[in-house]
Structure 1
Amino acid sequence: MRSIVTSAYARVPADVPRDNLTPLRLELERRLRAAVAEARRADALELYLPMRLSGNVNLGASIIVSEALLPARTCSDGAPGTASDPTEIALQLLSGDMAADVDVSSGEVDGALGVRRERVAPAAVDRGAEMASRRVDYFVSVPGDPGRWLVAAFSTIGAGNPRDDLSDALVEWFDALMTTFRWSWA
């Protein structure tokens, strides 16, 4: 973890006093540890956090990839049944968020059924989220295994406003990433 923070601060000009940087480094390390702990609690498979500046802009964004395992249905006699059909799950996801500020759509990702959900989450200072964020989630059924879904959750604060131009560009980038996603079996 320390090496990631050191790498992030490697581009700081040499004339910046180290005493000014120490509290910032400690805060970055604290936030990074909190993000990793939160991803672990959510049983995430992957956590992506941009740690380098893009030009002079720090990209406030993250991607968490996880797997959702759905329980098999139980037959009327109590015996275990088959997993729910991905279409049924997609319909539940599509009808579950009826709020006006949530955009939900469905389609295919590399031939697999997928659902895309977008919303703005308010700041939650008690959870360390000091700013509102724009969130885009993709739920993609795993081909040949109706009980498994890939979940890719993207979040950005943009340049301080979740509906600003930077946020729009980052959401567009994430959509391009997900719509060109391809399954690969080892």
Structure 2
Amino acid sequence: MWTLDELLDRVSAALTAEYSGAPNGRVRDVPDRRAVRWYATTGLVDRPSAMRGRTALYGKRHLLQLVAVKRLQSEGRTLAEIQTELAGAADTALAAIARVPERLLESADPPPQEAVRPRFWAEPAAAPAAPPPAPPQAAPLNGVALGGGAVLLVPGTPAAADIADIAAAAQPLLDLLASRGLLTNERESP
């Protein structure tokens, strides 16, 4: 892989052989950095193969594409005509047009394998966690003794009449607990 400057050096070296330059003088003999970026934006040349930080990396195909574009421009063709001809061209077709010396193609290393970092901004946002429910603001609990060790907890403070009514209402429950041996008095008797 090459940086953009390294790629342009190779393009220049490749064009020294069999290249008469652009016929009208309005087109540069060798593309500059800006032209390569524009070619990539318009689709005339592939986008960079990889990135190393903020540095774009280019390979063999990019070299073939740029030299082919310049060779076709030297024949007087417009960029629109060139783009039509080279769109989707295989490397073998590009190599036939570009005629790049083999020595310039040799060190096109494969793109470096970098660890893929997760794209946190592309993942759907997680639903915000619901705040824990507020603890209920309960009144203090008071115990009402029902007999046999059973105690009923009630909020607030019951009056004496309330305690008598609660004990009467709880009698069926106390009888059930006694029949199952779940009250203190029943457990203690032999």
TM-score (norm 1): 0.22
TM-score (norm 2): 0.21
* Greater per-residue strand proportion: 1
Larger radius of gyration: 2
